[in-house]
Structure 1
Amino acid sequence: MTSPSQNRSVLTSVTEGIYWLVTIDALLVLACSPTILAWTLLPAGPSNVLVLVLAGAPLVPAVSAALYAWRRWSEDPDLVPASRFLHGYRVNLLDSLKVGMPAVIVLGILTANVTFGAQLGTAGFNVAFLILGALVLLLLVRALTIVSNFSFRLVDTLRLSVFTLFAKPLSTLALVSLGVLTLGLVQVVGGFALLLTGSLLTAALWHSEKPVARLLRERFVSPDEEPTTAPAG
């Protein structure tokens, strides 16, 4: 029979988890608001491709901040999700943009070629573009995981992103599965569903990426080094 103290403990954990989810979700929406506005107001077309691509830039540090916050929550589940998110956003902003913006630009170009292939005369390469886009997206997400946990040089981050895709195949498969789930959610419910599930998706992403962070910490970080880019907030 479960004691009252155990019931209270479970209830408290669930309540705190919901508080974290709601807070991180609200912060993600706030951080991504320029992207949301641009993608909502600007019509999709060849003339707006560059603007729509650049509008995706805020997504990169926002996801990195959420991953940082979820890692800190797994270590110390204090009721300070906003503090964790904002600290992660601040310390990872430049590094996340360094690895993220080239990938965002490449993804934007590939998306434009697939979407407007008939007008651009590139429709015959759509399958190759889709495969390349999926690979770039995998590398981007893995690089954001690394940036959110460690302070490596840019070139080392890129090398480790490629290395871990093969060294941790189950985590890579989990990334693919999460990507398929997200795409299915958008197709069935609509893009606005991401506004309500962003915290859940980033929490699931961090959970699937834990083995990668553990591998990098064991093999590439000395015991006296901090695994984050700055002291935890």
Structure 2
Amino acid sequence: MDLRAAHEDWVREREERVWGEWGIASLAATHWLWTEPLELEGVPGRWHAADGVVVGEAIDDLDGAALRLAPGEEAELAGILVRAFERDGSFALRVLDPGAAARRGVSRIERFPLDPAARVPGVVRRRTSEQSTTSVDGHSALGAFDAVVKLELDGRTVALAVQEDEGWYFAAFSDATSGEESHPFRFLRFPVPEGELAVVDFNRAYLPPCAFSDHYVCVLPVPGNRWSVPVRAGERVVG
């Protein structure tokens, strides 16, 4: 399969992942929970956190039975999808609603044109390190990074700190287009190579979930992943 056909397949899959019924853009709320049960707007029942799970009680759909959701587990209730979420020992209930994106007035992803030159070779230096990270809501944590990838962009050498996840490297980055031509930061995933040479395809740079809903808590790029060179490839903004 040639580059354009493969990219078009990737775009189609990405569009479904974002705009599908329970896709990324459908997140309507993230409710942080306590040990005391709370009533949440638009969600049946009362909800709290206990013993490492999210617990829903007095839910009419379940004839009053309790619903227990471990982080990542979900259930459909009264036309919405609820999903348990955990961050650093704090628990939340996420609410996904198929009409959320339309109410926010977002319906499309704007992209830079496909550019074969945006497929860049990189040299992987595998080394484990910890760096302080900050999320869009101001939450700070220590993040574990598995490698640094050296790249040549616009005639300059940049470094990309990456985290490994099931055969893929993941990173958040910003560049000279960020906040003007593109979202303030973007995400990137590419296969972990067997050796030291990787191919980083910036045509597949993608918008973080928080570009589609303010209720996500995306992690911002670490300082070394913020570049003064432009990357005019991949997804730009939500429209």
Q: TM-score, normalised by structure 1?
A: 0.29
Q: Between the two structures, name the one with larger relative contact order (CA 8 Å, sep ≥ 6).
A: 1
The structure in which a higher percent of residues are strand is: 2
The structure in which a higher percent of residues are helix is: 1
Larger radius of gyration: 2
